[in-house]
Structure 1
Amino acid sequence: MHVTVDVKGEDTHEVELEAANGRPTYADLLGEVDLSPHEVSVLVDGRPVPEDQPIESEHVTVLRLIKGG
């Protein structure tokens, strides 16, 4: 599955995912772009989605909740 991940204010990543046991989840997607579910929210069509939900969209937006400073 090909997914475009737009990390707001940072980079856009093109990710190819395959889960060994069924469909990949948003947590799997975050792992591919080296982000923790504890520091971000994943949005699909402007709405947050649970990290354990199977990916249903080819484009997601990621918002960092915590940023060092």
Structure 2
Amino acid sequence: MRVTCEVVGEETHDVEVEADATYGDLLEAVGLSTQEASVLVDGNPVPEDRPVDTDSVRVLRLIKGG
């Protein structure tokens, strides 16, 4: 499944994930962890263990830098 991930204020990624992928897997595919970012579907946050069920998401980084 191909998903477009817009990381807010950064880049947009086209990611290929397995059919049974979760939103946590999607974050991992763009190089982020569930502790530093949240996935938004239609403007609403979704749980990391929910299966991916859309082809476009926004990723909001909660932590940046070190």
**TM-score, length basis structure 2:** 0.94
Moved over 4 A (4+): none
User: Which is higher, the Rg of structure 1 or of structure 2?
Assistant: 1
Alpha-carbon distance between aligned partners in 2 of 1:61 and 1:41, rounded to the nearest angstrom = 8
Q: CA deviation at 1:18?
A: 1.3
The match for 1:44 among 41, 48, 53 is 41
Cα RMSD, aligned residues only: 1.1
**TM-score, length basis structure 1:** 0.90
Alpha-carbon distance between aligned partners in 2 of 1:64 and 1:18, rounded to the nearest angstrom = 23
Q: CA deviation at 1:31?
A: 0.9
Could you tell me which runs of 5 or more consecutive residues in structure 2 were left unpaired when the two chains were aligned. none
Residue correspondences, number: 66
Alpha-carbon distance between aligned partners in 2 of 1:41 and 1:25, rounded to the nearest angstrom = 13
Deviations 1:3-33 (A, max 9, x none): 00000000000001115xxx11001111111
Percent identity, please: 64
Q: CA deviation at 1:41?
A: 1.0
Q: CA deviation at 1:67?
A: 1.6
